[in-house]
Structure 1
């Protein structure tokens, strides 16, 4: 004979009451609220940092200068009396597709001939050396400022040719590029001028279309078979590097294609 196993539910109507229970409940609510506030604040800070990092990373990748070509110009007195070394480099520079605008005033150009290295800033930059380029004028033409690059100097930092470069716009549809504020946008094309006058070539009177007197020594010597390295470093973005070896002989050429 089987025994009847019966299950009974016990009804318990007792609960925790009293001021102690209320305090514990309020404490739990406060702890949860504080934890939620900390999580929200932390997630907000992380989101802001992630956005800032993403913006900076995008700028570093997208802001790229692109050297289209480099031409060398030899100083001369006449068609038969030409300097044996390159006296002026003309860099045609633009931006890669999708690049952010570049302030040329903040670009640093490092150039070396294997022996001497010059770190050049834009002529209107008065921050690095306390002074802008000697005799530079924001209202002057690019050719006038180029002449001052080749012929002027000041006590600090010294000869313009060793510390500065100048620029001239070729294509600028939005008129963003001026001698005072040289802003380079996508689609713009400019020429950057770098003096490479050698110490033995300072007596020549003409560089390209310019008639000058008293060329200043740049400290560089860009003769035949010279290995030249250029690094263009913008304020933000990747640096642009161009290396080339000059021809074994310049012959009678006044203008020499050097890169690419």
Structure 2
């Protein structure tokens, strides 16, 4: 599990017991880890409006002896996220002779990510997100780079029971055209992981300006699209390999789809039966 997730876990584990001032301080630290890592306590205090004493008290409540220890954890977290893919490959190769095989470490990371998601997920936010998807006139999905196939998979699942979900920016389609067709009754769902796709960030910002509701699934509070999200989700994505793990992200997205179907009416079931009938007529699936 990466250091960023451990910091988020510390905050999540203590959040309910924090005072209003300490909650504001914790929210700022998690949303601005890069600034906390790079700037002095006095500068962070001036930027956040939170007193140095409150920031130091937050550090102690979270289990650090000093604010500087919290800041050092932020430095490590930022350093991990800022590594290029080639640097991560080098780290992977350097660790290849470790006693624990890569597949064991990868599996352990995925299990840890999913466990952390289950333990820290805001269930109320998840339900509100599913309700927004159910009420939307249309849902537009967008993912770039490694997230492309993930949103395509979600589109495949939802097209079984809905005709209002579309993929943006795929197979020559214009992302701008999809955004231009959106309105306040629509939802944009974006998945983006480090390194963040510029088009994904700009798409969320544009959708927010249109008045559409936005869902952002990412791996860190440092994701620049988070501030434009109606429903933000920070999903653990740690992995010993050179790329982010999507195991917990898939768990979240599949859960959203399952919740949508579970709370829908008979029309959904009939739609799925009709799709299955057409699949059978077309001979899409192998039959012995």
Q: Which structure shows the higher strand fraction?
A: 1
> Shared fold (TM-score greater than 0.5)?
no
**Greater relative contact order (Cα < 8 A, sep 6+):** 1
State TM-score, norm by structure 2.
Answer: 0.26
Larger Rg belongs to: 1
Q: Which structure shows the higher helix fraction?
A: 2
